[in-house]
Amino acid sequence: MFEKGAGLADQSRSAAEWYERTYGPAKARFGERQERFETLSGIEVKPLYTPEDLAGWDYLTRVGYPGEYPFTRGIQPTMYRGRLWTMRQYAGYADAEESNRRYKFLLAQGQTGLS
């Protein structure tokens, strides 16, 4: 995560230089599509993240390993190497009977995952 021989102070200085020398001129010249970028939860997305942003952040608690809680890296320990991921789309309809018919149809056509 860190460059060899570089501490957080070096990373901070490097990021500040990037903002000044690279990002600032590009933003001034080309602009950005919108004034503020944020997640669906309303959390602002910065133009650059460095290891300094993760200071005090516990990787094992927040991300963990594949196949283990909190499952942010997927439910399969082998990830896609052992089994392809599934793309699940909502397939419900107006009522339970209609949804049930649709699910049975999808399964008969070879669908392997429903949600």
Contacts for 54 with CB less than 8 Å, ≥ 6 apart: 1
73 and 33, same structural domain?
A: no
- The predicted structure's pLDDT at residue 83: 78
Q: Which domain holds residue 8?
A: 1-57
**d(C-alpha 68, C-alpha 86), whole Å:** 18
pLDDT band of residue 10 (cuts 50, 70, 90) is confident
List b or e across 52-77, with b for residues whose CB sees 16 or more CB atoms inside 10 angstroms. Answer: eeeeeeeeeeeeeebeeeeeeeeeee
Structural domain ending residue among the three candidates 57, 77, 104? 57
52 and 1, same structural domain?
A: yes
**Does the pLDDT of residue 115 top 80, yes or no?**
no
Average pLDDT on 79-98 reads 77
pTM beyond cutoff 0.85: no
73 and 52, same structural domain?
A: no
Mean of all residue pLDDT scores within the chain: 85
Give the model confidence (pLDDT) of 25-61 as tens digits.
999 999 999 999 999 999 999 999 988 888 888 988 8
> What is the rounded end-to-end Cα distance, in angstroms, of the chain?
37
Q: Would residue 10 count as lying in a domain?
A: yes
Domain count, the chain: 2
- The predicted structure's pLDDT at residue 41: 92
On whether the CB atoms of residues 66 and 57 are closer than 8 A, the answer is no
**Does the pLDDT of residue 107 top 80, yes or no?**
yes
